[in-house]
C-alpha cells in the first residue's frame, strides 16, 4: 500500500480535502465520481502538477512529493492523450523513452514487444494526427509504460472513444495491466469501468472521499 496524507488544495469556489488515503500497490484502484468532483485535480496533485504543500505520498520508504514530477517515475495517460501530432506513433514513444534515459536497445525491444501485443505494426510510422482514437490510445498507453514506471495513472482513458469501441478497449487495458504487473490508478466516472477493471473503488464527491 501507499499512503497519501493531507492532500489539500483550496480554490475560490472549490476545495480538495483528503486527510488520509490508502492506495493499492497491486491491481487497479479506481477513483470514481461525477464530473467536477475533483478527480483530475487529485491526479494532477499526485503527479506534482498541482501544488499541495501539506501533502505527503509515501510509497515504501519514499515520499514522492519530495521528488520533482519527472523523478517520480509515474506513467500517465491523460484524458486528452496529448500525443505530439507532427510525430509518428513510433517517434512519440521514442521521445518519451529518451526523456527518461532509457537506452535505445531497450526502447526498440519494448516498442517491438508492445507493437506485437497491441497490433500496432500497421501504424507505427504514421503521424499521430491521422490515427484513429483507438490507435492513439494504444500509442499513449505504450508511451506511458516505456519509461518503466512504478505506477500507471489513467485519466478517463476511454472517454474519447465511441461507446461501441469501449468494450474492446477495456479488454485491451485489462490485458496490458495483467502484463505489466504494476499498480494502476484509474480515474473514471463510468460505472462500467469499475465493473470491468477495478480491484478497489474510492468514491470522491465535492473534493472529499466518501465511504
- Quote the pTM value: 0.91
Phi, psi for residue 33 in degrees, rounded to 5: 180, 170
Apex 74 CA angle, 50 and 78, nearest 5: 65
Would you call 76 helix, strand, or coil by DSSP?
A: strand
pLDDT attached to residue 169: 86
Q: Is 203 in contact with 209 (CB distance < 8 Å)?
A: yes
| pLDDT of the residue at 159 | 79
In 2-52, DSSP assigns E strands to 2-10, 15-23, 28-32
pLDDT confidence of residue 166: 83
- pLDDT confidence of residue 107: 93
Rounded CA Rg of the chain: 17
Residue found by looking up cell 497490433 in the block: 119
Residues of the chain where predicted confidence (pLDDT) is lower than 50: none
Query: 211 is written with which cell numbers?
Result: 465511504
CA 9/CA 54 separation, integer angstroms: 9
Amino acid at each position: 500500500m501507499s499512503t497519501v496524507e493531507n492532500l489539500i488544495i483550496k480554490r475560490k469556489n472549490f476545495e480538495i480535502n483528503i486527510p488520509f488515503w490508502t492506495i493499492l500497490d497491486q491491481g487497479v484502484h479506481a477513483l470514481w465520481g461525477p464530473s467536477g468532483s475533483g478527480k483530475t485535480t487529485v491526479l494532477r496533485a499526485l503527479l506534482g502538477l498541482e501544488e499541495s504543500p501539506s501533502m505527503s505520498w509515501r510509497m515504501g520508504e519514499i515520499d514522492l512529493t519530495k521528488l520533482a514530477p519527472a523523478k517520480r517515475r509515474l506513467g500517465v495517460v491523460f484524458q486528452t492523450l496529448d500525443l505530439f501530432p507532427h510525430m509518428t506513433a513510433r517517434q512519440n514513444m521514442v521521445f518519451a523513452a529518451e526523456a527518461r534515459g532509457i537506452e535505445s536497445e531497450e526502447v526498440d525491444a519494448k516498442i517491438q514487444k508492445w507493437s506485437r501485443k497491441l497490433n500496432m505494426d500497421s501504424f507505427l510510422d504514421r503521424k499521430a494526427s491521422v490515427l484513429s482514437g483507438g490507435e492513439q490510445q494504444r500509442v499513449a498507453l505504450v508511451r506511458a509504460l516505456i519509461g518503466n514506471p512504478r505506477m500507471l495513472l489513467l485519466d478517463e482513458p476511454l472517454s474519447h472513444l465511441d461507446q461501441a469501441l469501449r468494450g474492446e478497449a477495456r479488454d485491451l487495458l485489462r490485458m496490458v495491466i495483467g502484463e505489466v504487473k504494476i499498480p494502476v490508478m484509474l480515474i473514471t466516472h463510468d460505472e462500467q469501468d469499475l465493473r470491468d477493471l477495478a480491484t478497489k473503488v474510492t468514491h470522491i464527491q465535492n473534493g472529499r472521499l466518501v465511504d
